[in-house]
Chain A
Amino acid sequence: MPPSDLADDPQAVMSADKAAVSRALNLVEDRRPEAHTRVTELLAKLKDAPKAAGGHRVGLTGPPGVGKSTLTSVLARAVRQRGRTLGVVAVDPSSIRSGGSLLGDRARMSFDPADAGLFVRSLATAGEVGGLAYAANSAMRVLAAAFDMVVVETTGVGQSEIDIVHVADTVVLVIQPGSGDVLQFLKAGIMEIPDILVVNKADHEELAKRAVADLRGALQTAHAAGASSGQDASWETPIIATSATKGSGIDELIDALDGHRQHLEATLAARRRQGEVQWTLDLFSRKHGEHGVSTLGGLARLKARAERDLDGGQTPLSLCEHLSREYVAALGKTP
């Protein structure tokens, strides 16, 4: 089918009509060339949606099985109780062999199907390095135009969740008590310090206390070595113990999220723009490596180019493809 015209109904998306949101998401997932201009147009129209500017984009990441989806589910309930709406993008890996995927996060979430203020979409990584689905950035923007808060769940620790930094206002790293590896990564500065640290599965008070203390120690070591949170020295990463199954610590988590969002108020637009620029560059250099970057004039030039073109309504995806074509064309010229 040609991407249905109904897909580009920005008004309906902004009013959080579920069918319209779903169709818009279908469109941004559409990889056919003929879909790209329409994606670009749609996103441009959604960009200044009232929800989008004022909303909150949260990236939730952490190792497999720490309870990210369960946590999202209880978080959703609490956010809804506070009268805010929520969109969720849950990203799972695609099988390298078959290209297919098992999108299992939804199975851990329980919600009222009649609730118009909660929307969950699963996305497969479709072979993308870095764990964030092909369309996740765009999907995030669609949901951001429709809902007060958007949560993107991805799996990973260390290098792999880097993508999420580019699309989220607030990066939450979820770990569980006794996660030695993560502590080591943090201490060694291998891992960027997230905006919020959550120790989930802290089902018992004792366990929770110890885990928080361990983490605090690791953060101190990291800070002493000069690391700071999300390139933002003025923010002190809160550490929160939660039990998603018991529902404890959720209010604290929401408070921390709100606190960070408020902290960002002045710099938010710049941070979002910076994230998109970075993502464009990441996408491009992953695809074409050093050679691609230098062929198009080096990192600094590409960066300036990205800043300009993204202002002009391009999305990281469309821009990256644009750059790819230029690179391929340039390759054709060199013998």
Chain B
Amino acid sequence: MAEYGKRERDKPWIMRTYSGHSTAAASNELYRTNLAKGQTGLSVAFDLPTQTGYDADDPLARGEVGKVGVPVSHIGDMRALFDGLPLDQMNTSMTINATAVWLLSLYVAAAEDQGVDPSVLRGTTQNDIIKEYLSRGTHIFPPAASMRLITDLISYTVNDVPKWNPINICSYHLQEAGATPTQELAYALVTAIGVLDAVKATGRVPESEFGNVVGRMSFFVNAGIRFVEELCKMRAFVELWDRVTQERYGVTDPKQRRFRYGVQVNSLGLTEQQPENNMIRIVLEMLAVTLSKDARARAIQLPAWNEALGLPRPWDQQWSLRAQQILAYESDLLEYPDLFKGSEVVEAQTQHLVDSAWAEVQEVLKRGGAVEAVESGYIKQKLVESNAARLRAIENGDQIVVGVNKYVESAPSPLTENLDDAILTVDPEVDANQRAALGRWKEERDNAAVEQALAELQRVANTDENMMAASIAAAHAGVTTGEWANTLRQVWGEYRAPTGVAGATVKASGSGASADVIDRLRARLSELETRMGRRAKLLVGKPGLDGHSNGAEQIAIKARDVGFDVVYEGIRVSPEQIVASALEEGVHLIGLSILSGSHLALVPEVAERLRASGLGDVPLVVGGIIPDADAERLRHEGIAAVYTPKDFELDNIMSDLIDLVDRQHAAE
């Protein structure tokens, strides 16, 4: 028998912290301290304007600059971001999608400026725009154009930056939008198939080199609290990917068929109540992606204990990094071969997931593949339905969440004694500073060169040439993120993705207490309809660049199910648009959902515009990640109610909303 335990340890996974905020310079400093703490790779969080292709001076960027990530508007910002960090030695993961071609171009250009040959660069561009339509919400262009950008980036790096991971097929975000393990597996696989088929269809990669493309595909996966099942899910991924690459693409080299993946563990299940419990959830979830040597993550980043409160501070992120380090360096995990090989239980559960996921893969392929199933809303609707089932199970106690629907009593927590200081706040000056800096940049650069670079970009966009060369040239010329994206918007147009809510059916609550509550709410709305003459009509609005749609979707379908007429227009609607919709639709109530932290800029703007349009009487409520002090301020400014994740009982929210309409009706 082999002797385990004392043998040489495996090399640990790459440890990252997803970070970036305020400015390139501030984020650079953060990266340096993170590396000093033993982090082994960088993971860049960009702000929403950068992700959705707007410059800081665009009206749509208001309130969002430098908030949830670092703004990178041009090569100057990219240089500052990596100042003193030699790019030939970094392993940099960039969570960037619609503008991935552009950000990689800036990175390559910055490397060239550092005297680094791009061919040695290592890292990852997320570049999975398909899941943006389904969950993450930073898409810009229609699916066909997005697929072209994806494949352009892949065929560029496979040749020119061979160690780069050109795409991270993301199932992480699908679970965050409600996906079950089966759905997570299936939809990630169909996305990968869609991408590989598209690369093949370009005809740019010779048949003999296609294995290289397959070998560079990597995944970004989630792990939830049901960590045994999640562990099996990772093993199922390994098996299914091996099957797809072998059977569909005829890849013979087992190394190129390996399922390579990075992880961020589940954040959707992290709670606002008793937030310290989240650390325990995070550690358990990490086990799912580390315990199996045969299906172990290559890179891990963990959320922080205060996830549901707001942005993490350096200490919060450090605590999570320490969890990784303790598992990797203190424990004996890395001394053993695969722990579960031969386990009947694990193998059976893995097989079950393989089979159910494969069936769903076939279903999507039958519907024409990932892109079709995105455009038709099929996948989105499935996610919305799963998320609704999940929320309902928590609401009626079928799924226990400690500190939320069970064991809710708590001694005062020293961690949250001063809640407002328990999160990172971004200096509001950042916005104006970045705008000013951008103005200077535009003045100082060679504008003729910029014009020329943009003209070339436009020309290429209209052909089927690879976009990378023109983008790298534009990066060197000083083009900005907004200019790059706007040029392409003019060629390809923009896309509003299906919301998945209209067709989403939620299984009737059956019988019992919760069914009674629903019946009572329905009866109240019917009675209110008799008195008002019309059925109560609710507008659910998502102002700003925020892509967090879960809350808005779930409120919308719940409201329909208790009997509201609901207008929901999807994400990224301007305050002006929301007010125009409220006016034209004749709604009785408006609910905004904002999780990106820009509520203090956006909510008052909506309120002000409502007043200006003569709709000042229509009650306005807000939900999302709203710190207590801000909630207080908003209520003071006339917002009728503010909801946060701790308000998990949707029935209660609905009851409040009906009260509001009723009261307003009585007042008129």
Instruction: List the interface of chain A (C-beta within 8 A of B).
Output: 1, 3-4, 18-19, 21-23, 25-26, 29-32, 35, 64-65, 92, 94-95, 97-104, 106-108, 110, 113-114, 119-122, 124, 126, 245, 247
Contacts and interface: CB of A to CB of B under 8 A. Distances in A.
A80 to B, nearest CB: 15
B377 A100 contact: no
A287 B13 CA distance: 69
B600 interface: no
B605 to A, nearest CB: 13
A98 B561 contact: yes
B563 interface: yes
Nearest to A99: B563
Contacts of A65: 376-377
A102 B668 contact: no
B565 A100 contact: yes
B508 to A, nearest CB: 7
Contacts of A114: 576, 580
A35 B584 contact: no
A103 B502 CA distance: 7
Interface residues of B, number: 50
Nearest to B540: A102
A26 B668 CA distance: 15
Contacts of A30: 533-534
A74 to B, nearest CB: 10
B502 A31 contact: no
Contacts of B665: 1
A124 B565 contact: yes
B400 interface: no
B583 A103 contact: no
Report the 9 A-B pairs with minimum CB-CB distance, sorted nearest first: A1-B668, A30-B533, A104-B502, A113-B580, A32-B533, A100-B563, A100-B560, A98-B563, A113-B577
Nearest to A103: B567
B565 A107 contact: no
Interface-centre pick from B377, B526, B565 (highest chain A CB count, 10 A): B565
Interface in B560-581: 560-570, 574, 576-577, 579-581
Interface string B497-527: 0110111000010000000000000100110
Nearest to A33: B533
Given A1-B668, A19-B614, A103-B567, A120 B535 contact: no
B566 A107 contact: no
A245 B33 CA distance: 47
A114 B535 CA distance: 28
Contact of A19 (B526, B564, B576, B613): B613
A122 B586 CA distance: 9
Interface in B130-144: 142
Contact of B533 (A29, A98, A102, A104): A29
B559 interface: yes
B532 interface: yes
Nearest to B571: A107
Given A25-B586, A106-B585, A121-B586, 20 more contacts: A3-B533, A22-B585, A31-B529, A31-B534, A35-B533, A65-B376, A95-B561, A97-B508, A99-B529, A99-B535, A99-B563, A100-B525, A102-B568, A103-B567, A103-B585, A106-B569, A107-B499, A107-B570, A113-B574, A113-B580
B557 A102 contact: yes
B494 interface: yes
A167 to B, nearest CB: 20
B329 to A, nearest CB: 50
Nearest to B376: A65
Contacts of B577: 113
A228 to B, nearest CB: 34
Contacts of A23: 586
Contacts of A95: 560-561, 563
Given A1-B532, A92-B502, A100-B565, A110 B583 contact: no
B668 to A, nearest CB: 3
Contacts of A99: 522, 525-526, 529, 535, 563
B586 A26 contact: yes
B522 A18 contact: no
B584 A120 contact: yes
B302 to A, nearest CB: 35
B283 to A, nearest CB: 40
Given A100-B560, A121-B586, A245 B570 contact: no
